[in-house]
Amino acid sequence: MGKAVTGAGDAECELVCFPHAGGSAAYWQPLAVALAPAVDVVAVQYPGRLDRLREAPVEDLHLLADLITEALGPPERVPRVLLGHSMGASLAYEVAVRLARQPGGEPHLLVVSGRRGPAAARGRSRDQPVGDAELVERIRRLGGTDAPVFDDPDLLEMVLPALRGDYRALASYEATPGRPLSCPVVALAGDRDPEAPVEEARTWGEQTSGDFRTQVFEGGHFFLNDHAGDVVDLIRGLLPTRSGRPERTTGLWHRPPSARNL
């Protein structure tokens, strides 16, 4: 699939970010700005939204993970870290599994946010919203940054196909089983998140033979929005640098983030 890349030549790490269901690469813009220039933040743009609006959404997370993995290729010059929120966490995991099958391809770290681990999800019934009204209401209850879109009929008409496709993909998704990773995994969780209770987020540790930790924040499903500064500090502290120490930055760099249409 196509790529549009604006890389940071002096970056010490590549951070690949996966949006939530219905979300776009733009969700990760504040993180990209905060971490520049030490970190090259690459946001995945799924088909069916923004500059890929005319493309049909991919309604199979395994197929989408295959396409993203192919487009990413192996890390070229710096360590690679994957970060995903909600549906994006499942995609980040599946891409990490596929990269790990390639010599030297496994990411340095996987960060999953707002998503129960595969062991907790296994065997659960996955209810798919029966209509657009129910789908919109579910998204409103979760309180994401995209919620204002649903008050504009024209914008709503544009985003609904991607939302429908993402939820169909989630309804049929079964995670790759076993303990396929050896890289460290960090699970971020909101203490009042109905979609991924803390105890269920902790089951992500079963997917790796490497180190695992959980970081809990106050809030619901989109706790990332309420704790943006703390999340930036946490992510910065997790990322590898040439010095081996967290990279501290002051102010904001107004460099647009990298973007890849994957």
- Point out the residues that are catalytic: 86
* Amino acid type, 99: L
Q: Are 99 and 256 in contact (CB under 8 A)?
A: no
Q: Are 162 and 139 in contact (CB under 8 A)?
A: no
Q: What angle do CA 103, 109, 113 make, to 5 degrees?
A: 130
* Amino acid type, 122: R
What span, in angstroms and rounded, lies between the C-alpha atoms of 180 and 183? 10
**Which residue blocks in 6-51 are alpha helix, DSSP H?**
29-35
The C-alpha R_g of the chain, in whole angstroms, comes to 17
- The beta strands (E) that lie in 10-145 are given as 13-18, 39-44, 80-85, 109-113
Positive or negative CA dihedral for 194, 200, 201, 202? positive
What span, in angstroms and rounded, lies between the C-alpha atoms of 190 and 250? 27
Tokens of 52: 């890929």
What span, in angstroms and rounded, lies between the C-alpha atoms of 152 and 149? 6
Q: How many residues does the chain have?
A: 262
User: What is the crossing angle of helices 153-172 and 87-100, to 10°?
Assistant: 50
